[in-house]
A and B are shown apart, each in its own frame.
Chain A
Amino acid sequence: MNMDGNNSVSVRDLSLSFGDVTVLQTLNLDIKEGEFLVLLGPSGCGKSTLLNCIAGLLDVSSGQIFIKGKNVTWLEPKDRGIGMVFQSYALYPQMTVAGNLSFGLKNAGFAKDEIDKRIARAAEILQMQSLLNRKPAQLSGGQRQRVAIGRALVRDVDVFLFDEPLSNLDAKLRSELRVEIKRLHQKLENTMIYVTHDQIEALTLADRIAVMKGGLVQQLDSPDVIYNKPRNLYVAGFIGSPSMNFLKGTISASGNGHAVKVGGSVVPLSGYPAERSMSDGQSVIFGVRPEHIRLNSAATAEMSPEYDADVELIEPMGSDSLVWLKFEGQSMTARVESSAVHHPGDKVKVRFRVGLASLFDEADSDRL
Chain B
Amino acid sequence: MVDIASSRTALSAGPSGPKPSRRFSGSKIMIYGTLIVMCLYYILPLWVMVMTSVKGMPEVRLGNIFAPPVEVTFEPWVKAWSEACTGLNCDGLSRGFWNSVRILIPSVILSIAVASVNGYALVNWRFKGSDIFFTILIFGSFIPYQVMLYPIVILLREMGIYGTLWGLILVHTIFGMPILTLLFRNYFSSIPEELFKAARVDGAGFWGIYFRIMLPMSLPIFVVALILQVTGIWNDFLFGVVFVKPDLYPMTVQLNNIVNSVQGVKEYNVNMAATMLTGLVPLVIYFISGKLFVRGIAAGAVKG
Contact = CB atoms under 8 A, between A and B. Distances in A.
Interface of A: 52, 55-57, 76-78, 82-84, 86-88, 90-94, 103-104, 107-108, 148, 151, 155, 163
B200 A86 contact: no
Given A55-B197, A90-B197, A90-B198, 19 more contacts: A56-B200, A57-B197, A77-B200, A77-B201, A77-B203, A78-B201, A78-B202, A83-B201, A86-B194, A88-B195, A90-B194, A90-B195, A92-B195, A93-B217, A103-B202, A103-B212, A107-B202, A107-B208, A151-B202
Given A87-B194, A90-B192, A92-B195, A82 B201 contact: yes
Interface in B177-199: 192, 194-195, 197-199
Interface string B152-185: 0000000000000000000000000000000000
Contact of B200 (A78, A91, A163): A78
B213 A92 contact: yes
Contacts of A87: 194
A163 B197 CA distance: 12
Interface string B204-238: 10001000110011000000000000000000000
A163 B194 CA distance: 10
B194 A107 contact: no
A52 B197 CA distance: 9
A103 B204 contact: yes
A296 to B, nearest CB: 43
A57 B201 contact: yes
10 contacts: A77-B200, A88-B194, A90-B198, A92-B199, A92-B213, A103-B199, A103-B204, A104-B201, A107-B204, A151-B198
B216 A94 contact: yes
Contacts, number: 58
Contacts of B195: 88, 90, 92
A6 to B, nearest CB: 25
Interface string B48-64: 00000000000000000
A155 B200 CA distance: 13
Interface residues of B, number: 16
B196 to A, nearest CB: 8
A55 B201 contact: yes
A9 B208 CA distance: 29
Contacts of A82: 201
Contact of B203 (A57, A78, A88, A90): A78
Nearest to A157: B201
Contacts of A77: 200-201, 203
A108 B202 CA distance: 8
A145 to B, nearest CB: 12
A84 B201 contact: yes
Contacts of B201: 55, 57, 77-78, 82-84, 104
A74 to B, nearest CB: 15
B259 to A, nearest CB: 48
Contacts of A86: 194, 197-198
Given A86-B194, A88-B194, A57 B200 contact: yes
Contacts of A163: 194
A151 B197 CA distance: 13
Contacts of A92: 195, 198-199, 213
Most buried by B among A56, A107, A108: A107
Contacts of B213: 92
A163 B204 CA distance: 20
Contacts of A148: 198
B128 to A, nearest CB: 11
Given A92-B213, A94-B216, A104 B194 contact: no
A250 B76 CA distance: 104
Contacts of B197: 52, 55, 57, 84, 86, 90
Nearest to B208: A107
What are the 3 tightest A-B residue pairs by CB atom distance, in nearest-first order? Answer: A78-B203, A104-B202, A107-B203
A93 B199 CA distance: 12
